[in-house]
Structure 1
Amino acid sequence: MPHAARIAAFASAALMLLAIGAALRPLALPEKHTAAPVFDSVEIGFAQDMTAHHQQALLMTQRLDPDAAPTVRRIAEQLAGTQRIEIGTMLGWLRLADASPLPSRPMAWMTDTAAAHRHSPHHPDAPMPGMASTAELDALAAARGRDAEILFLQLMIRHHQGGIAMAMAADRQLADGPVKEAARAMVQYQGQEVGVMSMLLTQLGGELLPQ
């Protein structure tokens, strides 16, 4: 099979995996939670930090070259749609808790911040694991073609890995409730998305960023 045909076939399979994952993904706020929940400091902190984390993911999708390959564009659009829905859910929790949407001390809720930050280089303007630096975001905005596709996948994979570390920490620290359920769902589907994006990155000849 010609090289171009192999990439096209892989791209089709990758998008199918993402679509299946989206279809199977549980709602972030299950219907059984009918009463307004009372959120503790871990739940509030996680919602604040993950909202900020998701907002940077949206920024990365916006800075991807508009002329990037359709496969990478579609992955970016699917990720952006999911992140927007979850941001809305988390902001709803924060309104119920009468809490600010912005964290006063990022990652203060997490008992093992050192473990989380092992998933991300220590950029001075990236206080959470997996976050891109301003220079990296600028580079993504300037990149074009295959370079843009590779850099987007590299940054988004690392971003997802950081989000997974945060969600796993929330799952460990919470006994039950909708925030714990949402954190577990994030670990599952973001892990699937990392797998798909990693395979596509390999097809494009790129390598994962160091953690």
Structure 2
Amino acid sequence: MTVSRWIRAAAFAALAFALLVIGAALRPLVLPEDHTATPVLNAIEIGFAQDMTAHHQQALIMVQRLDRDVAPTVLRLAQQLSDAQRIEIGTMLGWLRLADAPPLSPHPMAWMHADAAASHHHSTAVAVQSTGNTMPGMASTAELDALATARGHDAEILFLQLMFRHHQGGLAMARAADQALTSGPVKEAARSMFQSQSQEAGVMGVLLSQLGGQPLQ
């Protein structure tokens, strides 16, 4: 190859390289690159954390409204429930802050009807669907007011009845989240909640029976 041909070839290669560099530089302007980061939590994880936070908060209200003069066994159980659920609320609120999500959902229980949960675990989604947008196991305002005025044995029975039903609802939510999610800390937390609340519900069932009460229908 003569010198002139080599120069022309080198010039052509340099021009091609320059065009390549310019094209790469202009690419984000013509075709903006997608810099969207992977979400910290998906929709099901956010919805579960929001709704379970609200669910736990009502449990704390029940503990607050329980008569302090009830039997030590019931009072001790109430305090243990309060301590455990406060920790879990703190964890879930931390996740929601990281995900830049509000602490409470404007559409409670919407995550239960997400396509992922419905397609892979249709029976679980339908099982809770009958409750609409109401979280399962939640006490009414009238029931909470009744608990606030109940005393002694009546307070023990009503507290255990309301908290037992409350835990049954929490178990349904935790089971649904565990089954809908494939991995991650939210799935692990949901599974842990299911295990701990199953044990707590068992204790409450025994205490309720010993006190002559029956679970609410």
- Global fold match (TM > 0.5): yes
Letter in structure 1 aligned against 2:128? A
Aligned 1:138-153 pairs, distance under 5 A: 138-153=145-160
Structure with higher RCO (Cα < 8 A, 6+ apart): 1
Contact kept? 1:117, 1:129, Cα under 8 Å: no
User: Residue in 2 aligned with 1:177?
Assistant: 184
Distance in 1 (CA, whole Å) between partners of 2:163 and 2:188 is 23
The counterpart of 1:116, out of the listed 128, 131, 147, is: 128
SS of the residue corresponding to residue 85 of structure 1 reads helix
Q: CA deviation at 1:113?
A: 5.3
Distance in 2 (CA, whole Å) between partners of 1:173 and 1:200 is 33
User: Residue in 1 aligned with 2:63?
Assistant: 61
Q: CA deviation at 1:37?
A: 7.3
Distance in 2 (CA, whole Å) between partners of 1:50 and 1:206 is 27
Letter in structure 2 aligned against 1:156? M
Q: Which segments of 5 or more consecutive residues in structure 1 lack a partner in the other structure?
A: 1-35
Q: How many residues align?
A: 170
Q: CA deviation at 1:108?
A: 0.2
Q: Structure 1 residue 208 and structure 2 residue 215: aligned?
A: yes
Aligned 1:1-211 pairs, distance under 5 A: 38-111=40-113, 114-116=126-128, 127-210=134-217
Q: Quick one: structure 1 residues 105 and 144, their matched pair in 2 at CA, closer, same or farther if it must change by over 3 Å?
A: same
Give 1 or 2 for the bigger CA radius of gyration.
Answer: 2
Moved over 4 A (4+): none
Distance in 2 (CA, whole Å) between partners of 1:84 and 1:204 is 27
Q: CA deviation at 1:66?
A: 1.1
Q: CA RMSD in A?
A: 1.8
Distance in 2 (CA, whole Å) between partners of 1:198 and 1:117 is 26
TM-score (norm 1): 0.77
Identity of aligned residues (%): 71
Q: CA deviation at 1:116?
A: 2.2
Q: Deviations over 1:137-166 (max 9, x none)?
A: 000001000000000000000000000000
Q: Which segments of 5 or more consecutive residues in structure 2 lack a partner in the other structure?
A: 1-37, 114-123
SS of the residue corresponding to residue 105 of structure 1 reads coil
Which structure carries more helix by proportion? 2
TM-score (norm 2): 0.75
